[in-house]
Structure 1
């Protein structure tokens, strides 16, 4: 039996008549009468004894309404609190992201996050490990990957494109690579992940793809440090647009192949927010998802 029906039964008992309850509800008395009849049929008992002037509670009806009244009140309060939380979410929110993405893309948004969602206590867990969301109690994991698979629910926050970049100083020391295949003969800066340090893939404007085996004397485990090594002129490297966009705009780094898409894994990749599969997300988690989707 739904909450509206229960509230109608309690109101009829309070008013002592169908007409009185109908006036409060702004309904036709026949509608209230049908609700009462349906409820009695569902329960299999008579709640009210009808007379020409007034409705009187039966013994069974009085016992039933006495028991449900506090429950209905608590449910109404819970619904009000839930609605309030949707408007002003409160509570802890634990988000996992890589060190580089968290520092470059998420930290600058935190003043706005705190201003817009002051009731949320944000626990930002920065790690380059793929954490277990359920085991670690993570509400949202920010991952850079192709479309996610498995039991997790994914929301795409933004696309991602990779660039092979080098510092202008590096390019003054000799001829710049003219074609991605030239990188096979270059001392490249490489990320320590297996696919990133061995093979880079390229696709031109016509869709032709080239796979290049890369090598180099310097391997670094952190993309922030890898970017700094490129800035210092130590060689070309493969980095995501969100990490080097400002450097490319200011000329601190140069895109060696602006007419090519580059990747170490797949061309169709992006930034995803992943969360455990649930029918209903807590308000604080929904608010966090909506915020980062709107601002990243």
Structure 2
């Protein structure tokens, strides 16, 4: 057997599908099926149980995977160490983030990342679904909160702060209608733009400079599931909305939005919030992943400890 056969076996075990692995490898499912069948013939043992929906490991397959996967990691580590002093990182890194964070914060960095590491390919998966990193073959994820999964390693990327914002036109119109926006309690008289998540659409939490916290009920007849669309509506003067600072940095700088209560800390969930880099826990972390982690931490100003 060759090393590539073992890698395909590990991928199928992780992904649970010939078709998915074939797509990842740019080949057809029958080729992957033949590779696994050949490995089983050579070992004289069934490694995978086939079904119409998913491949699952047999008891023998699970034992084989437990021995083979660390060996492949060690081979990758040896290759990585040999190339460290003479070559740039190569290969494709599969990175996932939410649609909004990816568009606002990750996509603008891709030209610089490409310039820094021209031999590094990037597979950027933007989705608001928290993908299973192992089964989906993801190297690195950006999540807006730490992971509760003990199988993942978390590295803080950047602290975040939330802001209540509205367009200058909306603020001016509110004054004309004698609907002030001087204090958080004034939001009761306004139809807010609401992110359609349980913790965001009914009340926001405010903390003043003295540390006193108040819960302000918010109401509105526009609920939006996508933060980017929420941002468009706020810029177009439809009402106040709650945003993470990374979401509205450019709009505040350009004057398209104004922060309504800058003297308050505000949140919908927790005042201590951050963006985190997550990756599967394993002994060997590929160099291509390490360099992207270091690049992102440097760009977001959160240096490694």
Q: Which residue of 1 aligns with 2:184?
A: 180
Q: Which residue of 1 aligns with 2:94?
A: 94
Does the C-alpha gap of structure 1 residues 78 and 127 become closer, same or farther in structure 2, counting only changes over 3 Å? closer
> Aligned partners of 1:244 and 1:83: how far apart in 2?
44
Q: Which residue of 2 aligns with 1:139?
A: 139
> Aligned partners of 2:298 and 2:100: how far apart in 1?
20
What whole-Å deviation, never above 9, does each CA across 1:34-91 have from its counterpart, x for those lacking one? xxxxxxxxxxxxxxxxxxxxxxxxxxxxxxxxxxxxxxxxx99984653314751111
Q: Which residue of 1 aligns with 2:153?
A: 153
Pick from 191, 199, 205 the counterpart of residue 203 of structure 2.
199
Q: Which residue of 1 aligns with 2:83?
A: 84
Q: Which residue of 2 aligns with 1:267?
A: 271
Q: Which residue of 1 aligns with 2:66?
A: none
What whole-Å deviation, never above 9, does each CA across 1:13-33 have from its counterpart, x for those lacking one? xxxxxxxxxxxxxxxxxxxxx
Q: Which residue of 2 aligns with 1:242?
A: 246
Determine helix, strand or coil for the equivalent of 1:136. Answer: coil
The 5 A counterparts of 1:44-55 are none
Determine helix, strand or coil for the equivalent of 1:291. Answer: helix
What whole-Å deviation, never above 9, does each CA across 1:248-274 have from its counterpart, x for those lacking one? 122211111000011111010111001
> Aligned partners of 1:119 and 1:102: how far apart in 2?
22
> Aligned partners of 1:132 and 1:244: how far apart in 2?
29
Contact 1:188/1:214, CA 8 A, preserved across alignment? yes
Determine helix, strand or coil for the equivalent of 2:256. Answer: coil
Q: Which residue of 2 aligns with 1:110?
A: 110
> Aligned partners of 1:217 and 1:157: how far apart in 2?
34
> Aligned partners of 2:117 and 2:77: how far apart in 1?
21
Q: Which residue of 2 aligns with 1:130?
A: 130
Give the Å deviation of 1:153.
0.8
Contact 1:181/1:210, CA 8 A, preserved across alignment? no
Contact 1:201/1:209, CA 8 A, preserved across alignment? yes
Q: Which residue of 1 aligns with 2:70?
A: none
Q: Which residue of 2 aligns with 1:285?
A: 289
The 5 A counterparts of 1:6-85 are 79=78, 82-85=81-84
> Aligned partners of 1:109 and 1:180: how far apart in 2?
35
Count the aligned residue pairs. Answer: 221
> Aligned partners of 2:79 and 2:127: how far apart in 1?
38
Q: Which residue of 1 aligns with 2:5?
A: none
Give the Å deviation of 1:185.
2.9
Give the Å deviation of 1:183.
1.6
> Aligned partners of 2:160 and 2:79: how far apart in 1?
41
The 5 A counterparts of 1:223-234 are 223-234=227-238
| TM-score normalised to structure 1 length | 0.71
Does the C-alpha gap of structure 1 residues 212 and 77 become closer, same or farther in structure 2, counting only changes over 3 Å? closer
Q: Which residue of 2 aligns with 1:22?
A: none
Does the C-alpha gap of structure 1 residues 76 and 261 become closer, same or farther in structure 2, counting only changes over 3 Å? closer
Give the Å deviation of 1:245.
1.2
Does the C-alpha gap of structure 1 residues 81 and 216 become closer, same or farther in structure 2, counting only changes over 3 Å? closer
